[in-house]
Amino acid sequence: MKLAAAYAFFAAIAIAVNLLVQLVVTAIDPTPFRFWSALVAGTGAGLVVKYLLDKQYIFRAHHIRALPDLGRSFFRYAATGLLTTGIFWGLQLAFHHGFPGWSAAKYIGGAIGLTLGYLWKYRLDRRFAFSS
């Protein structure tokens, strides 16, 4: 149970980082592509934060130290995130377009999508990203 609580806590941190980066990018990007640039920047920031936390504290993958091993591990971690990112982006887009007059809708959809994605991601990461 302690591991599940830690995983949920780190997922909440990564979700907060993702959505805060999106808020910042949305506020400073003057282009018509700000929705997409914010989504990509937030996804990248959340990915890096969650990888570092999971590697160190959830999977205790201390055996992954050499740069090539870190690269492989991060690549696998990102690859397992493709499916979960699809869930996250899909819900964020659905809320963004489904509630066009509500400015917080995309963030609510994003938070729901990220939460659902993280429920699956643990099992994928345990098997593919941090296995020996």
Residues of the chain with pLDDT under 50: none
pTM of the model: 0.86
pLDDT at residue number 132: 58
Of 88, 86, 79, the closest CA to residue 114 belongs to 88
* The pLDDT of residue 17: 97
Alpha-carbon torsion, ordered 58, 9, 71, 130, to 10 deg? 30
Q: Could you tell me the residue ranges of all domains in the chain?
A: 2-129
In this prediction, residue 3 carries a pLDDT of 85
pLDDT for 94 equals 96
Give me the DSSP letters along 60-76. Answer: --TT--SHHHHHHHHHH
